[in-house]
Structure 1
Amino acid sequence: MAKSSINKVVLAYSGGLDTSAIIPWLKENYDCDVIAFAADVGQGEEELEGLHDKAIRSGASACHIVDLKDAFVEEYIYPTIKTGAVYEGQYLLGTSMARPIIAKAQVEVARKVGADALCHGCTGKGNDQVRFEGAFAALAPDLTVIAPWREWSMVSREDLLSYLAERDIPTTASATKIYSRDANAWHISHEGGELEDPWCEPTEAVWTMTVSPEQAPDKPEYVTLSFQAGELKQVNNESLSPYQALVTLNTVAAKHGVGRIDIVENRLVGMKSRGCYETPGGTVIMSAYKALESLILDKASLKHREQLGLEFSHVMYDGRWFTPLAQSLLAGAEVFAKQVTGDIVVKLYKGQATVTQRRSPNSLYSEDFATFGADDVYDQRHAEGFIRLYSLSSRIAAMQKGDKA
């Protein structure tokens, strides 16, 4: 679509330096009306405060701020937990999980205001451009997508600051910003600064959500999580909504330094990046959920759920939420989740979340069978026939080698 045919654009707006510059840039280069859209996914009131007025001052004709906190946790985080997805063994997918709901809401605003284009502030080096545009392709293939970082000539924060200053557009950003951060109800991510050197240990200036494990309380704290059919229903016997349960656990776990990771990950676009993530409540929930699964699911079921989780971690990370594959994997996880009912006690201490107690009405664990003491339910002599049949193929192979010797 030619630039002249773009009349109204909905921009995914954060109020940061990039998107503040994008508003006037769109108006100048596309001669269009710009509608700012911001999603409240639990990143905190301080990031949303004054956002509407800031967007208007930057040149937007309107700013839509949509509350997605509850839907984000219920419809995106909880289903992902049920799959057991953890990207490359460590990353709990906090940024990845927020992108589909933000993109979906952006499309809904675009339909509401009659826009003919969508715009995002993602760079051409990262994963988010793929996540947003993959969602746009699935939900609104008729709308043009504008990605300024792939079009304009600006390459640095200094360029953006000069651009805004020339147009007398106020900004609180400065050229000395060290870290790039992204926050939501599930986590906060940190990139840049000393983290660009993988040999450099993160300073305490990196972390903003959790206390240092060394500075955490010397006395452990125990928290009880109660699940019903794969859904977290209670924390310490108090019934809470999914969002409030996560907020509660974030607060409790953060003060014990739980949920910090420092990883080098493989981006979808081919390069490696180093990031630090803080996911205090999510770490507790995921640990508790998997501990409950270990009590309930049989060996073959747990193996399949683990494989499903591995596959879904890549589906989520790669921005393929709105695909038949994603829906198939989520549906498969739901079958297992229906059995995940019970209580888990997690010990929080010096950066660790350790499961100490577990119980479930669907437990397959039987003390009568598992005991090392005397029992009346298991005849150990029966194991001989099982082992003989289980290893029969190895026995036959060895015999054949002997015949050929």
Structure 2
Amino acid sequence: MNKKDIKKVVLAYSGGLDTSIIIPWLKENYNNCEVIAVSGDVGQGTELDGLEEKALATGASKLYILDLKEEYVEDYIFPCLKAGAEYENYLLGTSHARPCIAKALAEVAKKEGADAICHGCTGKGNDQVRFELTLKAFAPEMEIIAPWREWDIVSREQEIEYAEAHNIPLKINRETNYSKDKNVWHLSHEGLDLEDPANEPQYNKDGFLELGVSPENAPDEPTYLTIHFDKGVPTAIDGKKMGALEIVEAINEVGGKNGIGLLDIVENRLVGMKSRGVYETPGGEILYKAHEMLETITLDKETQHYKKLIAQKFGELVYNGQWFTPLREALSAFVDETQKTVTGDVKVKLYKGNVINAGITSPYTLYDENVASFGDDGGAYNQADAAGFINLFGLSIKVKALLDQNRDNA
């Protein structure tokens, strides 16, 4: 589609540095087109304050703020939790928020009769893929505009200069210009001193950590929590039933206070480069570990082991933006089948960055104390049976050794 044919653009708008300058840039470069800003609220908190005033002041015709928090937790975060999905030890945060936001973006674009959808993702990052694969699934006919792949701006420093030249107010400055992404589940930090893996993250620097404290600043006394799961989904804390969003918010708070969930990694981006980031996922680490603890007594060995393979592939699909694909949906169906018995209570001890098992119970437990006991099992297990098992299990080893001996003697 020719630029002149684009009359109305729906923009994924956060009010951050990238999208703040995109509104005037679109109007300058796309024939003074109408720009409708859309902000998906997945738990950014105060980042949404004053967003409408800012969007309108910089040239948008209107702003949608869509409350997606419940949907995000229930339809994206918890399916990943049930799967145990990770990517290179990262619990996924930004990656499963993007399809949630992009789906809503496509819905608004169709409602508004837009000609194009625009996002502020850089050409070096993963988010451009996550946004656009979702848009292809829900608005395949829609033109996609990605300014970072078009304009001459090559750095965040130049973005700030553009903003200053166009009188666009910013909440950041050159000294605190970390690239951050925040939602109800996590907070990521990239850029500045973090770009050199030789530099230790400044966890105790004022304003760096937002969801919690560093382990050394956590309380000297442990905190105990009991989390109830129903078919793999957390539904209560310390006996109090809560909604999905309420549980994530509550457990994030207590996890943050205890220095839980800090991760400093160099990860392999989808686009081929390595990237260093620091992640805060306090509640996520607690829920993932508690869920895994519960599965140790509720899943049989073969399912438990095979599910690890599924978890890795599931995490890769989510990280790579392939949420709305037949394979991800099929893997979710497998996961849901495994979770039918993942019901019970997990007690954890939180202490200075650690999540420690303090007790697991389930009505579907596969752990039989009589069978496992070192004492008198009452005949539940005949130890003499082990001899025949070992003979058969080790038969191939014995046969090879005997044949090797014969060959050596010959």
**TM-score of the alignment, normalized to the shorter chain, above 0.5:** yes
Identity level (%): 52
Tell me the TM-score normalized by structure 2: 0.96
**1:185-224 to 2 correspondences below 5 Å:** 185-203=184-202, 204-205=204-205, 206-224=208-226
Counterpart CA distance in 1 for 2:176 and 2:156 is: 9
Q: In the TM superposition, what is the alpha-carbon distance from 1:271 to its structure 2 partner?
A: 0.7
Offset of residue 375 of structure 1: 1.6
1:59 equivalent in alignment to 2:63: no
For 2:343 and 2:96, locate their aligned partners in 1 and report how far apart those are by CA, in whole Å. Answer: 24
1:359 to 361, 383, 388: 361
Which residue is equivalent to 2:38? 37
Deviations 1:153-185 (A, max 9, x none): 112334223323333343344333331110111
1:109 aligns with 2:122: no
Indicate yes or no: 2:5 matched with 1:5: yes
SS of 1:404's partner is helix
State how far apart, in whole Å, the 1-side matches of 2:228 and 2:91 are. Answer: 21
One-letter amino acid of the structure 2 residue matched with residue 216 of structure 1: A
- Deviation, structure 1 residue 338: 1.3
TM-score (norm 1): 0.97
The equivalent position to 1:276 in structure 2, one of 275, 278, 285, is 278
Q: Secondary structure at the match of 2:341?
A: coil
**2:47 alignment counterpart:** 47
Moved over 6 A (4+): none
The superposition leaves residues 206-262 of structure 1 with CA deviations (integer Å, 9 ceiling, x where unpaired) of 322111211111110100000111111101100000110010001111101011111
Matched letter for residue 27 of structure 1: K
Unaligned runs of 5+ in 1: none
Is residue 2:296 matched to residue 1:297?
A: no
- Which 10-residue stretch deviates more, 100-109 or 383-392? 383-392
Q: What is the rounded CA distance, in whole Å, between the counterparts of 1:403 and 1:172 in structure 2?
A: 79
Q: CA–CA distance in 2 between the matches of 1:177 and 1:217? A: 28
Which residue of the partner structure matches residue 394 of structure 1?
A: 397
Measure how far apart 1:382 and its partner are: 0.4
Letter in structure 2 aligned against 1:20: S
Question: 164-173 or 118-127: which moved more?
Answer: 164-173
1:20 equivalenced with 2:20 (yes/no): yes
Inter-partner Cα distance in structure 1 for 2:275 and 2:84 = 23
1:118/1:316 CA distance change after superposition, 3 Å: same
**1:3 CA drift (Å):** 0.8
The CA distance in 2 between the partners of 1:38 and 1:51, in whole Å, is 9
Residue-by-residue CA offset, 1:121-154 (whole Å, 9 max, x unaligned)? 0111111111111111122111011100110011
Structure 2 residue corresponding to 1:374, chosen from 373, 376, 381: 376
User: How large is the RMSD of aligned CA atoms in angstroms?
Assistant: 1.2
Residues 110-130 of structure 1 show CA distances to partners (whole Å, capped at 9, x for unaligned) of: 011111211110111111111
The alignment of Structure 1 onto Structure 2 pairs a total of residues equal to: 403
Matches within 5 A, 1:222-371: 222-371=224-373
Q: Distance in 2 between matches of 1:228 and 1:336?
A: 12
**Residue identity matched to 2:296:** S
1:176 maps to what in 2?
175
1:373-404 deviation digits (Å, cap 9, x = unpaired): 12221110001111111222222333333443
Q: Counterpart of 1:80?
A: 80
